[in-house]
Structure 1
Amino acid sequence: MCVTCGCGSKAEARMMNLQTGAELPLGDNHADDHVHAHAHHHDHRHQHGHAHEHSHAHDHGDGNVHEHRHSHSHDHHHADDELHDHEHHDHHHHGHGGHDHTTSVVDLEARILAKNDQLATRNRGWFEGREILALNIVSSPGAGKTTLLERTIRDLKDELPIFVIEGDQATVNDGERIRAAGAATVQINTGAGCHLEADMIARGLDELKPQVGSMVLIENVGNLVCPALFDLGERAKVIVLSVAEGDDKPLKYPHMFQAADLMIVNKTDLLPYVDFDVDTAIANARKVNPSIQAISLSVRTGDGMAAWYEWLRDHRGEIV
């Protein structure tokens, strides 16, 4: 269980290269640098792989020695950078009071995010060194991220090379849609995880091998909470808000809108049929992030897409 956001272990995470058909595991035991951001949850906060039993002798002051037997399962991953709150010792004293792990949990969360930020910094340097515009596209499920990417690829693929890292909990459905639109794609399935992390992006780039001067679009898992916490090394976060969601979304999920550089209000063709005010949505977004930019568009009709493409060209021009 992830102490940062409560999502599940990365053990099920895997990556599919949709060009070659290769499938690679991305679980805890396979991640580069042994990044254990999702540790299994139990009282002592250790990740364990095989079980064994040992005993401890305790003198409680009454002249009798009491033996306690404990079962532990230990994983053989004890690299220096693994995240363990404390060590087990074969002979230690157990008090009779409860244990307060609040400080340990906060410390572990800080170390998880610090490790991710370190890897994100490496990704950012990698992108900058190759003059690649990398964008982290985030939204709630169903806001229209994949459809936005499909149309963007079809309209701009002859103008600039586009590569995509597609994130979902399961299936390669969206990755196949992106590949059919004309972009080289790797699909990352996070299993029980609810967000992409910097180490996943690094391994996706190893598979994609985007060329110098290209654009890498990262479609994150549909979620407006955890992706705000995890920097991937992108130049900017782009949040897609559907008019079907409600114009108060920025106030309900302020951290995500604070982290975003651009808000795309999507599906404006549905405005006659929903209770949504575009100006109110933009005003609410600027209450939590005064510097956020906003573009209203309909991928379905094409209305407003030119403004999105101009935004992409401007940001690419800043680094090429």
Structure 2
Amino acid sequence: MCTVCGCEASSKPKHADEIIREDRNFGLGEAGVSIPGYSQERLIKIEQDILSKNNRYASANRRWFNEHQFLTLNLLSSPGGGKTTLLRETLKNLKAKISIGVIEGDQATANDADKIRALGVPAIQINTGKACHLDAHMISHVLNDLKIKPGGILFIENIGNLVCPAAFDLGESCKVVIFSVTEGEDKPVKYPDIFSAADLVVFTKIDLLPHLDFDLDRAIEYSRQVNGDLDFIKLSAKSGVGLLEWQEWILAHHQVLKSKTASNANQHKAHSNA
């Protein structure tokens, strides 16, 4: 748990019992974290209160997204993982096909939102100050300002952080982890919560692989140890390799959402007429 926002890991690390005597693990208690002056029971209560409130807002957001038939993607990564670059290239190719909007999350500045607006795509910047992630309440405040037609796609670019955003549902359709090959391939086991919560892992900057010691197969293996249901896409926003597969994944999930929404509407209509 960080002292600002109350985030904390939801489970005991799988490797916790393997730590040698000289090492220290402050995540072995029931709360998964240790903070001076707080008992494990108190920390658990704080977490429950924070996440319960967030989940209520997330549920309301999800209803709103469904009513407007939005596919909403929560993009997550380390700082510098390539989220904004990938998002810009994605928008260039999709903006003529479908209504799109973006919510940008950063502690400060509107730099990324300005980059998106420069493409002619509506973007809303959320600055979180000392908070290290977006939460559902923040998202709820900007919903009515989104300039997206019903049936469109909303991209939420979360703050660069592999810890805090994992626990906070925003009401999104899917969580996508952007995993740069300039990082260590063991990121999934070092930061298991965010990979466990994800629906898709997108490996970025693969054009750099010939110059790195990154083991892509090992990174996939580590990811599957944490979450066996993950899908994977490998791409380079610079060279364009893999971008088509990424865009097809987005459009396929968008179509599934539209079909599901239409089916639910028909069932509701039939029930009302019964």
Q: Same fold by TM (over 0.5)?
A: yes
Q: Select which of 3, 8, 21 maps to 1:6.
A: 3
Deviations 1:4-37 (A, max 9, x none): 43236xxxxxxxxxxxxxxxxxxxxxxxxxxxx7
Distance 1:152 1:297 in 2: 12
TM-aligned CA deviation for residue 120 of structure 1: 0.2
Deviations 1:82-115 (A, max 9, x none): xxxxxxxxxxxxxxxxx86542332122011001
Q: Select which of 187, 202, 209 maps to 1:264.
A: 202
More helix by percentage: 2
Q: Which residue of 2 aligns with 1:145?
A: 83
Q: Which residue of 1 aligns with 2:244?
A: 306
SS of match in other structure, 1:187: strand
- Say yes or no: does 1:273 pair with 2:211: yes
SS of match in other structure, 1:239: strand
Distance 1:105 1:207 in 2: 36
SS of match in other structure, 1:104: helix
SS of match in other structure, 2:244: helix
Where structure 2 has 5 or more consecutive residues not aligned to the other structure, the ranges are 8-36, 259-274
Deviations 1:58-99 (A, max 9, x none): xxxxxxxxxxxxxxxxxxxxxxxxxxxxxxxxxxxxxxxxx8
Q: Which residue of 2 aligns with 1:199?
A: 137
Q: Which residue of 2 aligns with 1:157?
A: 95
Distance 1:297 1:243 in 2: 10
Q: Which has the higher Rg, Structure 1 or Structure 2?
A: 1
SS of match in other structure, 2:115: helix
Counterparts in 2 of 1:54-69, with a 5 A limit?
Answer: none
- Say yes or no: does 1:239 pair with 2:177: yes
TM-aligned CA deviation for residue 208 of structure 1: 1.6
Using the size of structure 1 for normalisation, the TM-score is 0.69
Using the size of structure 2 for normalisation, the TM-score is 0.81
Would you say the 8 A contact 1:140–1:222 is kept in 2?
yes
How large is the RMSD of aligned CA atoms in angstroms?
Answer: 1.5
SS of match in other structure, 2:141: helix
Q: Which residue of 2 aligns with 1:181?
A: 119
Counterparts in 2 of 1:99-114, with a 5 A limit?
Answer: 101-114=39-52
Would you say the 8 A contact 1:154–1:182 is kept in 2?
no
TM-aligned CA deviation for residue 206 of structure 1: 2.1
Where structure 1 has 5 or more consecutive residues not aligned to the other structure, the ranges are 9-36, 39-98
Q: Which residue of 1 aligns with 2:261?
A: none
Would you say the 8 A contact 1:167–1:221 is kept in 2?
yes
Distance 2:180 2:190 in 1: 15
Structure 1 runs (4+) deviating above 6 angstroms are: none
Distance 2:2 2:168 in 1: 11
Distance 1:304 1:209 in 2: 29
Q: Which residue of 2 aligns with 1:118?
A: 56
Would you say the 8 A contact 1:123–1:198 is kept in 2?
yes
SS of match in other structure, 2:193: helix
TM-aligned CA deviation for residue 274 of structure 1: 1.0
**Identical-residue share of aligned pairs (%):** 49
Distance 1:139 1:263 in 2: 10
TM-aligned CA deviation for residue 279 of structure 1: 1.3
Distance 1:100 1:202 in 2: 31
Q: How many residues align?
A: 229
Would you say the 8 A contact 1:153–1:182 is kept in 2?
no
Q: Select which of 251, 255, 266 maps to 1:317.
A: 255
Deviations 1:175-221 (A, max 9, x none): 10111122100001111110000011111212224320010000000
More strand by percentage: 1
SS of match in other structure, 1:170: coil
- Say yes or no: does 1:291 pair with 2:241: no
